[in-house]
């Protein structure tokens, strides 16, 4: 039996982030194939596939064939237990996507080699940098026409402000793609397409040093010469490989490959597993001390709540990231925010294609706890003394806003309850004009699909019909000044800026453009604005 420490140190927990269509699903699928977690490619969240990866708990999801909530995929590979936190993309992009990154110990950023860094990559990257977690880059689709690799490096460094270190270097692209040069092993990994779209064929590694005549044959003399020049340039460049910089998120190791044809996926996985950290220690917000993941005491925090998986019950599943120790089904733990011990009766782990009951789990793992409505996002559970309490999870600024009113004013109670409960799960954020009531609510969401989900759920679960009008605001900022020191009514603002408050009375500003944010900052000297709030 492996010891507690061995179990925990075999864990690797990460999220894959990308702009839609860069190849996140395809890469995830290929990683799962190596782990033997799935037998055939095409079963992860296949858009046309009848088999949804994990959750098809809502009609909207079924109708559209998309996954509304993010899930966790676990598999074993070469003695490591790997947890991939899936972050939804496309129009189902939501706050969950951001919060999931709070539970990860590193991130893999997939970039389309023809497009470079795109809008959603930037947003997700920003959240990763909040936590200073390591970020690995997989430049995908090298089997297609791609941008120049030097240009891609510059693109990442300039737009994201992170240094890059190419671990391998591509030889040609598109039809002329010959493979990659592994900079560490100093050898060429040649690309052989088997002509099949799903690329099940494993490629052979061919050892050949630069300058070796064999390489002329393998990749062509011109490519060989170009490669030698590129590598000389790279080796001469100032950036050294620095593992510490990788671990604090300031240097991103870059890999080139093609998820679709499988090329470069396994070498990437091996290197990634070697470099990515074991479960990272988290800080106890009370004592300020680090909680050792290998501690005998169990601890973890809730980063996501998913409602109504079972339509017949108002049950929710609270997703908990284990930060230390071991979870055993049925164990008791102290719920810090409620101040009492509770029995963790049902643990479900969301596996690749089924919801399996887990009987034990370790630091680094994610478990789904049955939630009769007692948990909130950011809550800590722990055993042993003194109790630990992890810092709350930030609230991310929504980007889409709507004015919501109820159709039948007699149902005020249900309306308020529904709005508050859905907001508590973190799917939406609710605000109102300064000093006003709940007759008219301003809803903010990170992804526009959440507005549809809200309407659907209020109708189906709370029997409340609403009227919704989208508002032309694009940005929200929290005012972090002391409320006594600054009255939002007296600020000098543009006409497309609206002061609002949340239900706790925190003040915020809604802006129609980034230009208005600049105006507010320039015309109100003391005003302090933040992109993140606290739940
Ligand atoms: P996601 O939206 O980031 O999850 O992207 P998908 O994995 O769904 O991929 C988007 C499209 O790009 C699909 O049609 C994939 O088949 C295709 N694709 C993904 N990886 C590659 C690749 O390495 N090469 C090529 N040519 N196409 C790819």
| β-strands 400-406, 440-445 pairing | antiparallel
Q: Which atom of ligand 1 is nearest to the CA of 27?
A: 7
Q: Does residue 1 fall inside a structural domain?
A: no
Query: In this predicted model, which residue has the larger pLDDT, 431 or 394?
Result: 431
Going by the annotation, the residues of the binding site are 18-25, 86-90, 140-143
Residue 63: predicted pLDDT: 47
Closest ligand 1 atom to residue 20 Cα is 2
In this structure, the answer to whether residues 238 and 298 fall within a common structural domain is no
The β-bridge partners of 82 are 12, 75
Ligand 1 centroid, distance to 43 Cα (angstroms) = 14
Q: What is the pLDDT of residue 69?
A: 41
Same domain, 154 and 51: yes
Residues 449 and 312 in one domain: no
Nearest to 303 by CA among 468, 139, 98: 98
pLDDT for 337 beyond 80: yes
Top mutation candidate among 20, 21, 73, 84 for ligand 1, by most atoms within 8 Å of CB: 21
Cα distance between residue 83 and residue 71, in whole Å: 10
Give helix 119-131 / helix 149-160 axis angle, nearest 10°.
60
Terminal Cα-to-Cα distance of the chain (whole angstroms)? 40
CA distances from 330 to 30, 55, 67, 304 (A): 35, 24, 30, 21
- The answer to whether residues 299 and 433 belong to one domain is no
Domain ranges, residue 305? 282-382
Judge whether 481 lies within some domain. yes
**Contact at 8 Å (CB) between 491 and 522?**
no
Cβ count within 10 A of residue 521? 13
Residue-wise pLDDT for 155-209, tens only, equals: 999 999 999 999 999 998 888 888 899 998 888 888 776 655 555 454 556 767 8
- With CA atoms as reference, report the closest residue to 371 among 307, 427, 416: 307
- Please tell me whether residues 267 and 287 are part of one structural domain: no
The band of 61, judged by pLDDT with boundaries at 50, 70 and 90, is very low
- Taking the C-alpha atoms of residue 405 and residue 324, their distance in angstroms, rounded to an integer, is 44
- Assign residue 493 the CATH number of its domain: 3.30.70.3280
Query: Is 286 found in the same domain as 266?
Result: no
How far apart are the C-alpha atoms of 230 and 171, rounded to whole Å?
A: 10
Question: Is residue 96 one of the residues assigned to a domain?
Answer: no
Rounded CA-CA distance 314/388 in Å is 30
| pLDDT digits 0-9 by tens, 244-255 | 999 999 999 999
Higher pLDDT, 44 or 15: 15
Q: Are residues 174 and 321 in the same domain?
A: no
Q: Are residues 184 and 57 in the same domain?
A: yes
CA of 21 to the centre of ligand 1 (A): 6
Of 351, 382, 413, at which residue does a domain stop? 382
CB 27, CB 259: distance < 8 Å = yes
List, chain by chain if needed, residues with CB within 6 Å of any ligand 1 atom: 18, 20-26, 89, 140-141, 143-144, 258-260
Distance CA 89, CA 25 (A): 10
Where is 28: in which H helix or E strand?
helix 24-35
Mean pLDDT is lowest, of 136-145, 158-167, 455-464, for 455-464
**Structure ipTM over 0.95, yes or no:** yes
Instruction: Tokens for 13, please give them.
Output: 């927990």
pTM value > 0.80? yes
Q: Give the model's pLDDT for residue 50.
A: 33
Instruction: Output the six-digit token pair for 41.
Output: 């490619």
∠ CA(466), CA(471), CA(474), 5° rounding?
135
Residues annotated within a binding site for GTP:
18-25, 86-90, 140-143
- Answer with the one of 250, 275, 300 that is the final residue of a domain: 275
Longest dimension (CA), the chain: 84
What is the average per-residue pLDDT within 339-346? Answer: 85
- Give me ligand 1 centre to Cα 104, in Å: 23
| Residue at which a domain ends, from 275, 297, 316 | 275
Helix or strand holding residue 214 (H, E) = helix 213-219
Q: What pLDDT does 55 receive?
A: 35
Per residue in 91-140, pLDDT (tens digit) is 567 788 888 899 999 999 999 999 999 998 998 999 999 889 999 999 99
Sheet of 466-471, strand order: 466-471, 400-406, 440-445, 429-433, 497-502, 507-511, 475-479, 529-530
CA dihedral angle for residue 92, residue 96, residue 102, residue 103, rounded to 10 degrees: -90
Domain contains 475: yes
Question: What does the buried/exposed string (b/e) look like for 135-157 if buried means 16 or more CB atoms within 10 Å of the residue's CB?
Answer: bbbbbbbbbeebbebeebbebbe
Residue in the block written with tokens 């071991």: 326
- Look up the CATH number of the domain holding residue 242: 3.40.50.300
Place of tokens 């598999």: 75
**Co-location of 423 and 373 in the same domain:** no
Among protein residues, the one whose CA lies closest to atom 14 of ligand 1: 21
Q: Regarding predicted confidence, which is higher, 352 or 273? A: 273
Lowest mean pLDDT among 127-141, 283-297, 299-313: 299-313
> Can you give the pLDDT at residue 73?
80
Q: How high is the mean pLDDT of the chain?
A: 85
Query: What one-character DSSP code corresponds to residue 248?
Result: T
Report the percent of the chain where pLDDT is more than 70.
Answer: 85
Residue with the bigger pLDDT between 320 and 203: it is: 320
Predicted local confidence at residue 204, as pLDDT:
59
Structural domains in the chain (count): 3
pLDDT at 87 over 80: no
How high is the pLDDT of residue 504? 84
Q: Report whether pLDDT(500) > 80.
A: yes
Out of 16, 19, 23, 88, give the residue to mutate to test ligand 1, the one with the largest number of ligand atoms within 8 Å of its CB: 23
């Amino acid at each position: 039996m492996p010891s507690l420490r061995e179990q925990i140190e075999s864990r690797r927990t990460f999220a894959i982030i990308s702009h839609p269509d860069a190849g996140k699903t395809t890469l995830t699928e290929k990683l799962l194939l190596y782990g033997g977690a799935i037998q055939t490619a095409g079963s992860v969240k296949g858009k046309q596939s009848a088999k949804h990866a994990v959750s098809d708990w809502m009609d909207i999801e079924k109708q559209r064939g998309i996954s509304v909530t993010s899930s966790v995929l676990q598999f074993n590979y070469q003695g490591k237990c790997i947890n991939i936190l899936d972050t939804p993309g496309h129009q189902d992009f939501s706050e969950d996507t951001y919060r999931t990154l709070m539970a990860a110990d590193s991130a893999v950023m997939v970039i389309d080699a023809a497009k470079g860094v795109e809008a959603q990559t930037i947003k997700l990257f920003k959240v990763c940098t909040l936590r200073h977690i390591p970020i690995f880059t997989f430049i995908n689709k090298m089997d297609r026409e791609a941008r120049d690799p030097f240009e891609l490096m510059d693109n990442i460094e300039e737009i994201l402000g992170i240094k890059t270190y190419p671990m391998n270097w591509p030889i040609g692209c598109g039809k002329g793609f010959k493979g990659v040069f592994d900079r560490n092993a100093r050898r060429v990994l040649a690309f052989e397409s088997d002509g099949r779209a799903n690329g099940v064929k494993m490629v052979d590694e061919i050892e050949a040093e630069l300058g070796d005549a064999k390489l002329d044959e393998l990749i062509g003399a011109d490519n060989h010469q170009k490669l030698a020049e590129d590598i000389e340039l790279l080796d001469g460049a100032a950036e050294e490989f620095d593992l510490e910089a990788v671990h604090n998120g300031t240097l991103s190791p870059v890999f080139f490959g093609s998820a679709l044809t499988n090329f470069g996926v396994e070498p990437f996985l091996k290197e990634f597993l070697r470099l990515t950290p074991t479960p990272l220690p988290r800080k106890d917000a009370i004592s300020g001390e680090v909680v050792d993941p290998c501690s005998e005491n169990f601890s973890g925090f809730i980063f996501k709540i998913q409602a109504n998986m079972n339509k017949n019950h108002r049950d929710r599943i609270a997703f908990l990231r284990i930060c230390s120790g071991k979870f055993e089904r049925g164990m008791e733990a102290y719920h810090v925010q409620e101040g009492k011990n509770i029995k963790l009766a049902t643990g479900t782990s969301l596996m690749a294609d089924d919801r399996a009951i887990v009987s034990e789990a370790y630091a680094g793992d994610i478990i789904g706890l049955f939630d009769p409505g007692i948990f909130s996002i950011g809550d800590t559970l722990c055993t042993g003394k003194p109790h630990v309490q992890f810092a709350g999870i930030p609230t991310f600024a929504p980007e889409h806003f709507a004015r919501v009113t109820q159709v039948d004013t007699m149902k005020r109670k249900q309306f308020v309850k529904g709005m508050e409960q859905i907001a508590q799960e973190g799917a939406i954020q609710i605000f109102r004009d300064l000093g006003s009531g709940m007759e008219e609510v301003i809803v903010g969401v990170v992804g526009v699909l959440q507005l549809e989900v809200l309407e659907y759920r209020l109708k189906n679960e709370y029997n409340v019909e609403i009227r919704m009008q989208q508002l032309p605001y694009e940005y929200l900022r929290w005012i972090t000044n002391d409320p006594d020191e600054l009255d939002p009514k007296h600020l000098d603002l543009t006409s497309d800026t609206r002061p609002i408050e949340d239900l706790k009375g925190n003040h915020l500003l809604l802006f129609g453009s980034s230009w208005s944010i600049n105006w507010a900052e320039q015309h109100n000297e003391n005003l302090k604005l933040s992109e993140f709030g606290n739940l």
